[in-house]
Structure formats: C-alpha cells, structure tokens
C-alpha cells in the first residue's frame, strides 16, 4: 500500500501582483512556510513557467525544478485547465472563453482550438521533462448547453458529440502516451465530462485510451448531489490526481441545484474551505488509501466566505492530518502462523 503525498497547493488562485504572490520563488517560499511540500503549477501564467520552453528543453526543466526545490517544495503536477477548455468550445460560449486564448487568436475559433491542441501536446513533453507522472486539464464542452433535456435532444446527439470530442483529444492522449504521462480530466460542471456517466462515454469513444484518467474533486459532486464516495469505488483505477476542496449544499423552497443565477455566496450549492463544508474527507482519504492511490493531495482553494490566505494557512495542516500513513503489516499479524500446506488442508477438511 502507498501513502498519499502532500500536502500540496494549486497556485492558480493565489498568484497576484504583490509579493509574495508575484514570482515563482516567492510564492514557493510562501507555500513552504505554510507547511506545503508540493505546488501544482498553472501553465498559463508565464511568471511560473514557459511551457513552450519546458517542452523543448530538459535543461530548462532541470533548472526550473531546482529553483522550486530550493524554496522547500517540489512540483506535484502541471495544469492546463484554461487551455484544455479551448480544445472544444461550442459557439454559444465563444465570447466567454475567448479570454482564455492569446489576444491574437481571439475571435478566431479554429486558430484558438489549434493553439490549444499544440499547448496540450507541449504540456505532455514538459511534464515528462520535469519527471512528472500526471497532468490535469479540462475536457471542454460541445453539448453542455443541452445538459437539461429541454428542448428534447435528437436521438444520437450525445453519441455524436462524444465521438467528436474524443477525435479532438485522441491525438493529445497519444502525445501523453508517448511522454509516459497520465492525462487527468477534472470532472467538472460546464465540461462535457462532468460526472461518471459522461467520463465513461468519453473513455469508450476514446477507445479506452490508457492515458485517459481522472482528477477527483469531491466539491463538484456535492453540488450535483452525486455519491462522491461510491465514485471512488467505481473509478479508483482511473483516479490519478486529487483536489482537496470542500463544498456544501443547502437547498431551500426557493432554490436548489441550479442556483437561480445567484452569486456564489447566495447559492444553495457553494464552495468552502476544507473543513468548513459537508465533504466527508475522512471517508475520502480512507478510500483512496484502501485503493492504493499514490498521487498528491492538492489544496484547491475556492471559498465564497473565507479569504485565500486563511484558507491556505489552514489547508496544509488539514491535509496533513487527513493523510493516512498506510500500514506495512496487518494488525493481527502477531497472532498468525507460518504457512503450512498440510495445515491448510486440515483446516479446510481435505487432508488425508
């Protein structure tokens, strides 16, 4: 059995224009001082990484890794959430997602998608050059606008959409196979991969690709009212990454899962800092230990009430206290006896 690594922290929500959040070294030293041992790096922030250079140069990656480790942490994984979103964007969302692309490609959906695909392939090479085993992204979405079946969906729509989505991602998955890195999709509302069924549809359409995996984040399942513990039972073989993020769901007679277009603080389903919501992290860490999850436990701070610095400060000990140092021997080994073939046959009543 393997002990989960961590605590680590996803830097995306913490980067800013003032110290210690404005440079790679300063934010890594800040994270280490709080007790984190790993940092998950968002690759769209050029202050943290030059993804193109990282894909081309092992020397650059060795230097980057050394700079991070000199600050007291190590790189847990890279993220391409924003770039992955652009692999598949329905025209209804063009204006909203254009901001994720370089300025020169805004208003150019085809160019934007081609850039996203190149970027993901670079992420595969960069991850390999950094010695990383997993990478996280979003799937994008072609039929999210039909998530509720009204108007009635034409027969075959979902199948056609997942075939198209898989056709866009298979060359990227192949690049991750070549790099020896697992590509993990964060299962997330707004993406075509937003629950177990949609992941299964995609996995089948992608030919059960060996690099197609999951980033597990229970907060999104609380908001969907999905059984997030049984999800681990179903998909543990495909779960290669883990975000520690809390949430709560408090429906009323006025609003439920859909939220009434309200701001986060007023929605029945809302994200909270770890320990402040309803997620059973004892159950989650136990199941991940049971299924021999060997990846990182990474804080993703998103809370509608608590500020980010308090969330980060509390997050490291929260994760550390939940990581189970797995047993190296059974608790009842003291009462065991040496294996004896004759004895075994006697016990089951077949000895002669």
Structure tokens given for 42: 């968002």
Each residue's pLDDT tens digit, 71-85: 999 999 999 999 999
Consecutive H or E run containing 129: helix 109-129
Q: What is the mean pLDDT of residues 165-188?
A: 98
Predicted pLDDT at 334: 63
Q: What is the mean pLDDT of residues 272-301?
A: 98
**Domains of the chain, earliest start first:** 5-347 (3.20.20.150)
Distance separating alpha carbons of residues 303 and 257, to the nearest angstrom:
18
Flag whether pLDDT at 329 surpasses 80.
no
According to DSSP, the residues that pair with 74 across neighbouring strands are: 38
51: confidence class by pLDDT, cuts 50, 70, 90: very high
Average pLDDT over the chain reads 96
Q: What is the mean pLDDT of residues 32-47?
A: 98
Each residue's pLDDT tens digit, 209-234: 999 999 999 999 999 999 999 999 99
Structure tokens given for 230: 């049984």
Flag whether pLDDT at 1 surpasses 90.
no
Structure tokens given for 345: 């046959």
Flag whether pLDDT at 335 surpasses 70.
no
Q: What is the mean pLDDT of residues 166-191?
A: 98
């Amino acid at each position: 059995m393997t002990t989960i690594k961590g605590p680590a922290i996803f830097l995306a929500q913490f980067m800013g224009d003032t110290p210690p959040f404005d440079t790679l070294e300063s934010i890594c030293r800040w994270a280490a001082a709080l007790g984190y041992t790993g940092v998950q790096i968002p690759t769209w922030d050029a202050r943290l990484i030059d993804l193109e250079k990282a894909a081309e140069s092992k020397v650059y990656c060795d230097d980057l890794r050394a700079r991070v480790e000199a600050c007291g942490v190590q790189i847990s994984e890279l993220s391409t959430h924003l770039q992955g979103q652009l692999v598949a964007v329905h025209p209804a969302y063009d204006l909203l997602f254009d901001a994720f692309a370089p300025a020169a490609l805004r208003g150019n959906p085809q160019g934007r998608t081609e850039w996203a695909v190149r970027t993901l392939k670079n992420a595969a090479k960069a991850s390999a050059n950094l010695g990383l085993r997993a990478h996280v992204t979003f799937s994008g979405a072609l039929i999210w606008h039909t998530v509720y079946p009204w108007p009635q969906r034409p027969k075959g729509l979902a199948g056609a959409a997942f075939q198209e989505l898989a056709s866009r991602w298979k060359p990227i998955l192949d690049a991750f196979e070549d790099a020896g890195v697992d590509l993990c999709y964060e299962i997330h509302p707004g993406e075509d991969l937003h629950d177990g069924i949609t992941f299964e549809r995609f996995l089948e359409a992608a030919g059960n690709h060996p690099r197609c995996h999951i980033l597990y984040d229970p907060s999104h399942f609380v908001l969907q009212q999905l059984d997030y513990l049984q999800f681990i039972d179903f998909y543990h073989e495909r779960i290669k990454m883990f975000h520690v993020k809390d949430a709560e769901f408090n429906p009323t007679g006025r609003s439920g899962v859909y939220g009434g277009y309200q701001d986060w603080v007023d929605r029945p389903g809302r994200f909270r800092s770890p320990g402040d919501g309803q997620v059973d992290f004892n159950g989650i860490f136990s199941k991940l230990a049971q299924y021999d999850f060997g990846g990182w436990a990474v804080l993703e701070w998103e809370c509608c009430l608590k500020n980010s610095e308090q969330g980060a400060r509390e997050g490291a000990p929260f994760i550390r206290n939940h990581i189970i140092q797995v047993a190296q021997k059974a608790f009842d080994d003291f009462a065991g006896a040496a294996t004896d073939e004759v004895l075994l046959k006697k016990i089951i009543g077949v000895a002669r």
